[in-house]
Chain A
């Protein structure tokens, strides 16, 4: 009995050490999100003063920043754009990546592996090399300054990955590919910045930093609210298939 108890004590002490070691990591990871959250609900006079402790509300919380977002900016339109773009990208990814994944995995094509690796490798060609030629392609298609341009270019990073993610071709595989296409189309900034200029055509991650900041005037409350409202659900969704993602990049290539 005595040994069982000391064992348990030892185990508990080990856990305490691990928690102590993890605390700084969790703090560093989560603090900026906490800071966005509290900023989004603080009244302006509470945001812009230095003599109070800033980590909690010194004045009553407010929804004013969200009101500004939805009634005085294009935020509502950006959310609709983002969702529509993501849905189209998911659809394109599905109709291209699922058949491709199936063919690569099941049909024993002679060149399957090389084709698979080449498709996957395109994921490594960074957008910064492609965005200038793609801007010409987008112009040729007559899509410059419309969010449709993004529907055309985002599948370039979802297809290579989707092809690996749908294996085995199954409901969870397909679902993963859909979530992946959804979240990945919200991770982009460069293409949205380069191809879509009109204020009401932008997706959220591009609209918020480019339209809500005017000159040197920052509406930090609205900015943080706008960022968080879309960012947090995406982060949570992404979290669910992060292991699949890592598996995809570390094992999706090679033999």
Chain B
């Protein structure tokens, strides 16, 4: 889909150009020009509120966060002075920063592996035709549509140290012992398990998204094009390589980008499950930035830590922009 096709009924640019060129001889050139400039002024006027809102509350704060990061801004002390790269330097000297960075990368990679496996298999199943497909699809996407803070609570209860339903099942099946024994996993309290438990919630929440994006990719390939390729004598492999893959690749890239941004920058799963504990075992960068920026009130250092996410996000952004350019040809 493109913006042009989203417009639905609107005339195609060429058709509109034709209308205009018919109209021109009927009017004086001057009048046409003033109409054009009026149309432009009207257009920019309509655009202005949205553009200004975004500029003032996303653009300006982003620049402001760069400023905060090189200042000693503090919640208690509104007068900030420039301290150069001091915040970045002191962040790099914190052990917990390196732990958080490492955990963020592990979180992203492990979650991506699992959600692509689950998402791809689900997409292939949902690609088939069968009775009740709409209902099943509606059920499977619930994890993604439920507000995140709310679903995390359900998991916190399922991970309860004593009354965990997961442990109840594992114990009945005989995979683990009774409550209180060493083999009884304490999901959120064990340094070896806490991060994995958080990753599992992220995978649970986002695998439907991967599946639906993939599905959108598959269904965006028009059957006529595939048929045409078939008629022209393309083998199955050739059709996949030269027709399907190039068509779904941009969509996959965008899905991947969105997921990377949301997974890397989300604090709610870890914050609500473990607050980064036990002993920083599940600390990730967003949680650290929140704890230092808001809870400890050190705005400058918090902003600096949050900005360390930018280089992590950069590869995804780069792929996205390259992909945009490619599609322009």
Contacts and interface: CB of A to CB of B under 8 A. Distances in A.
Nearest to B168: A54
A123 B59 CA distance: 11
Interface stretch (A25-33, A58-66, A69-77): A25-33
Given A234-B146, A254-B324, A133 B43 contact: no
B141 A29 contact: yes
B143 A255 contact: no
A25 B122 contact: yes
B44 A250 contact: no
A81 interface: no
B301 to A, nearest CB: 10
10 contacts: A32-B154, A47-B163, A96-B53, A122-B59, A155-B53, A194-B290, A224-B153, A246-B213, A249-B213, A252-B6
Given A22-B125, A137-B57, A132 B68 contact: yes
Contacts of B2: 251, 254-255
A253 B320 CA distance: 10
B136 A205 contact: no
Nearest to B254: A250
Nearest to B211: A25
A200 to B, nearest CB: 18
Interface in B278-328: 285-286, 289-290, 293-294, 299, 302-303, 306-307, 309-310, 313, 317, 320, 323-324, 327-328
B49 interface: yes
B6 A168 contact: yes
Given A135-B294, A168-B6, A189 B268 contact: yes
A135 to B, nearest CB: 7
A68 interface: no
B143 A29 contact: yes
Interface of B: 1-3, 5-10, 13, 16, 39-40, 42-44, 46-47, 49-51, 53-54, 57-62, 64-65, 68, 73, 118, 121-122, 125-126, 128, 130-131, 136, 138-155, 157-158, 160, 162-163, 165, 168, 179, 204, 208, 212-213, 216-217, 220, 250-251, 254-255, 257-258, 261-262, 264-268, 271-272, 285-286, 289-290, 293-294, 299, 302-303, 306-307, 309-310, 313, 317, 320, 323-324, 327-328
Contacts of B262: 126
A239 B145 contact: yes
Interface in A228-249: 228, 230-232, 234-236, 238-239, 242-243, 246-247, 249
Interface residues of A, number: 103
Contacts of A201: none
Contacts of A54: 165, 168
Contact of A235 (B142, B160, B289, B306): B142
Top 9 closest A-B pairs, CB basis? A251-B1, A126-B265, A100-B50, A238-B145, A107-B43, A99-B46, A133-B64, A133-B61, A103-B46
A32 B155 contact: yes
Given A54-B168, A126-B265, A254-B2, A25 B46 contact: no
A29 B62 contact: no
Given A50-B179, A159-B54, A209 B145 contact: no
A36 interface: yes
Contacts of A105: 3, 6-7, 10
B140 A209 contact: no
A91 interface: no
Given A26-B139, A133-B303, 8 more contacts: A32-B154, A96-B50, A99-B49, A116-B3, A122-B54, A124-B258, A132-B65, A254-B328
A172 to B, nearest CB: 10
B65 A208 contact: no
B199 to A, nearest CB: 15
A124 B317 contact: yes
B158 A32 contact: yes
Contacts of B148: 187, 189, 205
A124 B165 CA distance: 37
Contact of A33 (B146, B168, B317): B146
Contacts of B139: 26, 29-30
B294 A234 contact: no
B13 to A, nearest CB: 8
Contact of B50 (A106, A112, A119, A129): A119
A47 B158 CA distance: 12
A206 B264 CA distance: 20
A84 interface: no
A205 B149 contact: yes
Contacts of B149: 189, 205-206, 208-209
Interface string A146-186: 00000011011001100110011010000000000001001
A136 B147 CA distance: 26
Contacts of B306: 128-129, 131-132
B65 A126 contact: no
A143 interface: no
B153 A159 contact: no
A97 B50 contact: yes
A153 B150 contact: no
